[in-house]
């Protein structure tokens, strides 16, 4: 496979710098699926930057982006891009966000980058080669259920919030604590051992494509092939215990 992972990291970090620079002057362009599904001019500019850069390096590859890129390409490979995962956090300055880029060869994820612009951290993985934070290998934790800190990510649509309320009611008494995070960083933090499990509900492919590969390469297992349903990722023993609770 002709892939320069450092070049993908550079693209993600360039998008991150654009986001930091333009945050004071961002303009919310409107909403998409529901009132909590925001899109800003910076989301659009970030996807344009990423799409143009990927196309320049790998012109035969397809690109699927949250904000409208949708090309199949001729190589059999496709980039899955969330240019700014966590737009509400970004717009309101209430939490982290990230740049998420994954590469698929057919249906198989082969490389992933998740960049946190505010923290200056970049998580990466190549299939079969493990996961890294910067240059250092990372691995999931071995926490027990009663001590586990679980990251929770969900699409804040009215119907999904009703579903998540029930999940929290079942899960919270059994675990150590919960953290609400955007999907890509939820999975990246799981991979780095900062979280012990990740629960994701009603997500899109671009939300989880990069994060799932990073988590799996760090030793996580996950319980759904369909990200539109509940995805539960953790080390195997903890995943089994959480699945029984949920």
Q: Are residues 186 and 127 in the same domain?
A: no
Q: What is the pLDDT of residue 70?
A: 84
* Contacts with 181 (C-beta within 8 Å, 6 or more apart), sequence order: 86, 95, 96, 151, 152, 153, 189
Q: What is the pLDDT of residues 42-91, one digit of tens each?
A: 999 999 999 999 999 999 999 999 887 789 899 999 999 999 999 989 99
Does residue 113 sit in the same domain as residue 183?
A: no
Q: Are residues 133 and 149 in the same domain?
A: no
The range of the structural domain enclosing residue 26 comes to 5-137
Instruction: Provide the token pair at 194.
Output: 């900062």
Which residue, of 106, 121, 137, is where some domain finishes?
A: 137
CATH number at residue 101: 3.30.540.10
Q: Are residues 17 and 99 in the same domain?
A: yes
If one counts the domains in the chain, the total is 2
- Do 160 and 228 share a domain, yes or no? yes
Helix (H) or strand (E) holding 102: strand 98-105
pLDDT of residue 1: 53
Task: Quick: pLDDT tens for 31-55.
Answer: 555 555 567 899 999 999 999 999 9
CA distance 126 to 2: 12
Q: What does pTM read for this prediction? A: 0.92
- 180-224 residue pLDDT tens: 999 999 999 999 999 999 999 989 899 999 999 999 999 999 876
């Amino acid at each position: 496979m002709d892939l320069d992972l450092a070049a993908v990291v550079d693209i993600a970090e360039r998008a991150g710098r654009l986001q930091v620079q333009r945050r004071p002057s961002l303009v919310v362009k409107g909403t998409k699926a529901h009132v909590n599904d925001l899109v800003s001019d910076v989301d659009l500019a970030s996807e344009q930057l990423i799409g143009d850069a990927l196309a320049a390096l790998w012109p035969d590859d397809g690109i699927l982006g949250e904000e409208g890129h949708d090309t199949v390409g001729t190589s059999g490979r496709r980039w899955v891009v969330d240019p700014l995962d966590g737009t509400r956090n970004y717009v309101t300055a209430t939490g982290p966000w990230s740049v998420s880029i994954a590469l698929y060869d057919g249906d198989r994820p082969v490389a992933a980058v998740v960049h946190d612009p505010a923290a200056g951290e970049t998580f990466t993985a190549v299939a079969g080669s493990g996961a890294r934070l910067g240059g250092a290998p990372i691995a999931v934790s071995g926490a027990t259920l009663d001590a586990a800190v679980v990251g929770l990510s969900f699409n804040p649509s009215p119907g999904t919030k009703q579903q998540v309320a029930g999940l929290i009611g079942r899960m919270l008494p059994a675990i150590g604590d919960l953290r609400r995070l955007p999907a890509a960083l939820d999975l990246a933090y799981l991979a780095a051992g900062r979280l012990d499990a990740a629960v994701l509900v009603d997500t899109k492919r671009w939300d989880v494509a990069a994060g799932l590969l990073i988590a799996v390469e760090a030793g996580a297992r996950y319980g759904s092939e369909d990200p539109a349903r509940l995805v539960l990722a953790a080390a195997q023993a903890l995943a089994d215990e959480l699945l029984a609770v949920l």
